Amino acid sequence: MAQGKPVITFCLDIGGTGIKGMTVDEDGQPTAERVRLPTPQPAEPAAVMATVREIAGQMPPFDRVAAGFPGVVVEGMVHTAPNLGSTWAGFPLAEALQDATGRPARVANDAGVQGLAVIEGKGTEVVITLGTGMGFALYVDGRYVPNIEMAHHVFRKHKTYEERIGNRALQKVGRRRWNKRVLDAIQHLEPVFNYRVLYLGGGNSKLIHFSLPPNVRIIENISGLLGGIYLWQPRRAAADPSDTPAIAPPPRTPKVTSAPR
């Protein structure tokens, strides 16, 4: 690579209903329009990789690949993907992306990638994504703690967080009751993690209509793509770089209210 040439990252956000891609420079600025294609159904690895190749073909030249994936990923290998199917277990996703694009690739959980685009790097910060399922990511002083599958912990009425506030629950109980459930989940997670900031992302976050606690923020869905560059490079929070620890990429590897119905 020629000295001084910008390094361009092809960022992917693989979801249960859509696969998005965009190229981004080292400063996090898009260099192409975002492309979104439906996630194949069934979402088996071969079909998803074919969609990835189709999106990559619509991008300008790039040097490396970064992908957010809805499941547990360790050193580029998928361990679980509850919203895509059991065929993903043991799939070498980073290697497959490299084969598909001809460029080196890194992969992490999608909620973890999204948070890397928005966190401030101070204290404990949490990301929850509300989409097909529920994504969760934890950061301590800017460092990502990978693969905490909080979504699959039992929450209420013998159901997990994802079963209570995922998209299926939204469609079943409607927006009003779903909003109450989301607020309930937030209030229960705060004394568990004592987070300084909680970020809410994902496509369904736009449906939230309750007043947010002071330390809860809604983030733009495009951060699920923009965070990909930090799988390759460290960053510092822009607000106060003098006292904010560097945010390293993931290794390759209020009072509780009564329970809503």
What's the token pair of residue 231? 């799988």
At 162, is the pLDDT very low, low, confident or very high (cuts 50, 70, 90)? very high
Q: Are 207 and 170 in contact (CB under 8 A)?
A: yes
Q: Are 19 and 13 in contact (CB under 8 A)?
A: yes
**Alpha-carbon distance 61 to 8, whole Å?**
8
Q: Which CATH number fits domain 9-112: 3.40.50.970, 3.40.225.10, 3.30.420.40, 3.40.50.300?
A: 3.30.420.40
- Give residue 261's pLDDT: 58
pLDDT in tens, 168-190: 999 999 999 999 999 999 999 99
Say what angle helices 45-56 and 93-101 make with each other, to 10 degrees. Answer: 40
- Give residue 2's pLDDT: 47
pLDDT in tens, 16-73: 999 999 999 999 999 999 999 999 999 999 999 999 999 999 999 999 999 999 999 9
Q: Are 96 and 49 in contact (CB under 8 A)?
A: yes
Please check the confidence at residue 247 and state whether its pLDDT lies above 60: no
Q: Where in the chain is the domain with CATH 3.30.420.40?
A: 9-112, 119-219
Q: Which residue bears the tokens 């995922």?
A: 166
Residue type, 212: L
Q: Which residue bears the tokens 């981004």?
A: 24
Please check the confidence at residue 252 and state whether its pLDDT lies above 50: no
pLDDT in tens, 100-110: 999 999 999 99
197-201, strands of its sheet edge to edge: 143-145, 134-140, 124-130, 197-201, 216-218
Q: Are 139 and 126 in contact (CB under 8 A)?
A: yes
Radius of gyration of the chain (CA): 18
**Bridging pattern class, strands 134-140 and 35-38:** unpaired
- Give residue 260's pLDDT: 57
At 3, is the pLDDT very low, low, confident or very high (cuts 50, 70, 90)? low
CATH class assigned to 119-219: alpha beta
Please check the confidence at residue 237 and state whether its pLDDT lies above 90: no
What's the token pair of residue 108? 């992490």
CA angle 22, 23, 29 (to 5 degrees): 105
Q: Which long-range contacts (CB under 8 A, 24 or more apart) does 162-165 make?
A: 162/82, 162/133, 162/134, 165/130, 165/134
Please check the confidence at residue 253 and state whether its pLDDT lies above 80: no
Report, as an integer, the average pLDDT of 70-97: 96
At 236, is the pLDDT very low, low, confident or very high (cuts 50, 70, 90)? low
Please check the confidence at residue 258 and state whether its pLDDT lies above 50: no
Q: Are 8 and 25 in contact (CB under 8 A)?
A: yes
- Give residue 5's pLDDT: 86
At 78, is the pLDDT very low, low, confident or very high (cuts 50, 70, 90)? very high
3-state secondary structure of 56: helix
Report, as an integer, the average pLDDT of 130-143: 96
**Alpha-carbon distance 224 to 203, whole Å?**
11
